[in-house]
Amino acid sequence: MNGAPRFEVLARDAGTQARLGRITTTRGEIPTPAFLPVATHGFVRALPIAALAATGAQIVLANAYHLRVRPGAEAIAALGGLHRFMGWEGAILTDSGGFQVTSLAGHRQVTDDGIAFRSHVDGALLFLDPESALDFQVQLGVDIAMVLDECTPHPYTPGQSRAGLDRTLRWAERAVRRGVGPGQALFAITQGGTDPALRREAAHTLSALPFDGYAIGGLGIGEGREALRRTVAAHAPDLPEDRPRYLMGVGPPADIVEAVAAGVDMFDCVIPTRNARNAAAFTWQGLLNLRNARHARDPAPLGPDCRCGTCARHPRGYLHHLVRTADSLAGSLLTAHNLHFYQQLMETIRQAIPAGTLGALRHRLCAAYPDRAPGPRPLPPLRP
């Protein structure tokens, strides 16, 4: 839409649905498959923007709901828009906030018109509909805006999943009519839980609308690893071949490579940053817990081949010391490492697709990360 970012498929894996691609935006090219660090409030916790850029990330995710609640559109506009507000020169994708608002159990009312809810910050009564959710993202000046959807909380009944999908599809049509600004892309979001028929319906209906990309929403919320992978494997190929496919909120390394094999191009997740703040580091051998006493005198870096600044300067023993003394520097250094690892992971995946080695990489990652989601439990719901 309106000169939006372009997507090209450059190579394919012979044995799977995986594809190597490129999204071209006014702020540069984004190679895919790509991982988007989560900068919910306009920042990645514990990490300066310069350090975020040093990880190799070229696009980040921010959340329109949180930015609308605080600091608000006027404050961000007064400081030059979201890119300048953050000091980030790369591309920005904003989630509309539908997932966050639907987590306000008991403090929101969902109708076909939109969602009435109370702010989790000050209790103010707010209203979010497909048009206002999109207008705010346009005002922020983001590169990719997401439609407002209804993410049915898990566990859900078939009727709830059906109703959530119907509303999401109606809201998507309203978002298309509203449109975005010049140079901005508009992505749809599919819902339907783990029901193959609902997912196919979502793909069929949304593919008929002129979206610039298609996201898979409503997964990674408790349905289990096998159900998630089965749903993505069946659903991703139903989405348009010539547009980016984005799996929202799913990020364990093994799940990422499996979704890439299903044809997914974009990912975001808080797992690397949340684990870092809980003393856990991602490596090619698996997750390291820096609280463990065995690291106290270890002179090795977190990753023997890691090129991040943390590994270049600090041994595991020092990081263990920071963790045990509860210094905030531990979270900062581990966040930098984990996000660098994720960018290295995506680079390795991109190299494996044309080389025909994706199968071996899948085996390696599934062996190193056998569990569904390493690290701490999900955050509790937002509350006013």
Q: Are 38 and 379 in contact (CB under 8 A)?
A: no
Residues sharing a CB contact under 8 Å with residue 104, sequence separation 6 or more, in sequence order:
117, 118, 120, 381, 382, 383, 384
> With left for phi above 0 and alpha for psi between -120 and 50, is residue 380 left, alpha or beta?
beta
DSSP letter at 381? P
Query: Does an H or E element contain 362, and which?
Result: helix 358-368
Write down the residue that tokens 């817990």 correspond to. 289
Q: Are 108 and 125 in contact (CB under 8 A)?
A: no
Q: Are 332 and 325 in contact (CB under 8 A)?
A: no
Q: Given 95, 129, 149, 212, which residue is catalytic?
A: 95
Q: Given 135, 195, 268, 298, which residue is catalytic?
A: 268
Alpha carbon distances (Å) from 159 to 14, 53, 135, 201: 39, 44, 31, 15
CB-CB neighbours of 208 under 10 Å:
10
Q: Are 52 and 45 in contact (CB under 8 A)?
A: no
3-class SS of residue 174:
helix
Query: Does an H or E element contain 168, and which?
Result: helix 158-178
Active site residue 95: yes
Q: Which two tokens stand for residue 308?
A: 């991040």
Return the biggest CA–CA distance within the chain. 61
- Report the catalytic residues: 95, 268
